[in-house]
Amino acid sequence: MSKSYGQYCGLARALEIVGDRWNLLIVRELLMGPARYRELRDGLPGVATNLLAGRLRDLEAAGVVERRPALDGNAIAYALTAWGAELKDPIESLVRWSTPLMVPGPGGDVFRPEWLGVALPALLSGRAPGDTSTTVGVTVDGRTMQLRATPDGVEVLPHDGGELDGTIGAEAMVLFGLAAGMLDLDDVRSAIELDGDEEAVRAAFRLPARPQ
């Protein structure tokens, strides 16, 4: 683990556990269910194997992750402890905060549809109370994933198996923002029409222009 901040502050102590690089992304993967080492590697493109092993050890020592026998045979599966699963809240909160960063689209970044299982509930659970239930379909490479948000919660219907590497457009993310009640239709219409023009998107989301 990296050096302590030396502050008696909840945020600082939380960051000493989950603030290191990759740590929250590991938790994101485990929020979708227990996983083997290899599955984690695949869900975390770019992570060095020694780093992943080290982080899993840190998180286990901190009480966030536990290793237990996998279903099949004597292999090992990693899973969140009860306390670790409570990181769902901070993670969803960060996802909600990040929507302006998603508008420009994926660019060269990889996209995994499973991540929608974390992102979409986060966006739709931010809706104002009293809204009726909503169903949203997300199409990726011709396949559709369905998601239903009711006052009781959000249900994600997993895609129909198989490997699925695709891209999702900025318009889709704007749509999610609208569905979540985070954006106003009038504010955002010009951004959609201009299809990714950074100025318009920035204005719609009331983001200041980036200098340089």
Partner DNA sequence: CCGCATCCTCATGGATACTG
Partner DNA sequence: CAGTATCCATGAGGATGCGG
Neighbours of 115 (CB within 10 A): 17
Q: Report, in Å, the least distance between residue 105 CB and a second copy.
A: 8
Q: Helix crossing, 88-97 with 116-124: angle to 10°?
A: 80
Q: Which of 10, 38, 185, 212 binds DNA (CB under 7 A)?
A: 38
Question: Can you say whether the dihedral through the CA atoms of 30, 147, 133, 95 is positive or negative?
Answer: positive
Q: Report, in Å, the least distance between residue 133 CB and a second copy.
A: 20
Whether the CB-CB separation of 91 and 24 falls below 8 Å is answered with: yes
Neighbours of 76 (CB within 10 A): 11
Distance, in Å, from the CA atom of 30 to the CA atom of 79, rounded to the nearest integer, reads: 6
Quick one: what does residue 87 bind among DNA, a second copy, none, with the CB cut-off 5 to 8 Å set by partner type? a second copy
73 scored as a contact of DNA (CB under 7 A): no
59 scored as a contact of a second copy (CB under 8 A): no
94 scored as a contact of a second copy (CB under 8 A): yes
Question: Which helix (H) or strand (E) covers residue 117, if one does?
Answer: helix 116-124
Q: Report, in Å, the least distance between residue 28 CB and a second copy.
A: 5
Binding site for a second copy (CB under 8 A): 2, 4-15, 17-19, 21, 24-25, 28, 45-46, 60-63, 66, 81-83, 86-87, 89-91, 93-102, 105-112, 115, 118-119, 122, 167-168, 205-208, 210-212
